[in-house]
Amino acid sequence: GRAEAGPRRLRAAAMAGFVRELERRAGPALRLEQRAAGGVGCVVWDAALVLAKFLETGACPLARRHVLELGAGTGAVGIMAATLGANVTVTDLEELQELLLVNIENNKHLVTGSVRAKVLKWGEDVTEFQPPPDYILMADCIYYEESLEPLLKTLKDLTGPDTCVLCCYEQRTMGKNPEIERKYFELLQKDFELERIPLDRHDEEYRSADIHIVSIHRKRTVGHR
């Protein structure tokens, strides 16, 4: 029996992915499973860490607020918000639901608000996510040109006049990235006001000059474009 326990345990661990710990200011770290295979949503990207740690600074009051995370991936940002007292819905595609559920389960003892996972495909009907949340969280959601229009439609459909969208992204200089980024912010500015959160307001440790947090609100003005 004993000889085979080692390899089998290792294989099980490899299948289960690998755990990323995200320390918190108050209390035990979040334990986030990641997946070694299966596309972009499966590791905790740096922008997610920066946004999660920004939420902990208390700059945005989250207790009892309704929060929706788009393109949640591992759920790091949304679960952090739930540990800060928010009522959170983390959303992503069908194939990421299992990973989201695992991470919600693994961290539920740290949650002081609530957190649930749901499928949300950008560009599709968002009726079940109404009324508009207080906050929408997005970390590293701008990387495919073809997803810009559906993402913007979803943002328009989900936001009310008082919704604050926090978008954190890593500025990438490779290939088409700068162009995609520029197009996204250009399109966004038709309907939204944007304000960059200065670096000195980010978490003092989890920050980087090429990772930006932008606070986004619906434009108040009616009428001409």
Give the pLDDT confidence score for residue 166 in this predicted structure.
98
**Distant-in-sequence, close-in-space partners of 117: CB < 8 Å, separation ≥ 6:** 72, 75, 89, 90, 91, 92, 97, 100, 101, 104
User: What's the Cα-to-Cα distance from 69 to each of 73, 117, 128, 164, 213, rounded to whole Å?
Assistant: 10, 9, 14, 12, 15
What one-letter code names the amino acid at 146?
A: E
Give the pLDDT confidence score for residue 6 in this predicted structure.
46
Point out the least confidently predicted range of 9-23, 60-74, 144-158, 166-180: 9-23
Give the pLDDT confidence score for residue 7 in this predicted structure.
47
The CATH number that applies at residue 73 is: 3.40.50.150
Would you say 72 and 30 are in contact if contact means Cβ atoms under 8 Å apart?
Answer: no
User: What residues make up the domain containing 77?
Assistant: 17-218
Considering the domain boundaries, does residue 190 fall inside one? yes
The C-alpha atoms of residue 117 and residue 101 are separated, in whole angstroms, by 7
Report field, pTM of the whole predicted structure over 0.85: yes
| Reported confidence tier of residue 143, pLDDT bands at 50, 70, 90 | confident
Considering the domain boundaries, does residue 9 fall inside one? no
* pLDDT above 70 coverage of the chain, percent: 88
Give the pLDDT confidence score for residue 146 in this predicted structure.
86
Number of structural domains (the chain) is 1
- Whether pLDDT at 224 is above 70: no
Question: Mean pLDDT for the chain?
Answer: 89
Give the pLDDT confidence score for residue 174 in this predicted structure.
86
Considering the domain boundaries, does residue 7 fall inside one? no
| Reported confidence tier of residue 135, pLDDT bands at 50, 70, 90 | very high
Strand partners, 70: 138
Give the pLDDT confidence score for residue 172 in this predicted structure.
86
Give the pLDDT confidence score for residue 175 in this predicted structure.
87
Structure tokens that stand for 120 in this block: 């949300």
- Whether pLDDT at 15 is above 80: no
pLDDT digits (tens, 9 = 90+) for 45-104: 899 999 999 999 999 999 999 999 999 999 999 999 999 999 999 999 998 999 999 999
Structure tokens that stand for 140 in this block: 């590293």
**Distant-in-sequence, close-in-space partners of 88: CB < 8 Å, separation ≥ 6:** 67, 68, 69, 78, 79, 81, 82, 113, 114, 115, 116
Give the pLDDT confidence score for residue 2 in this predicted structure.
44
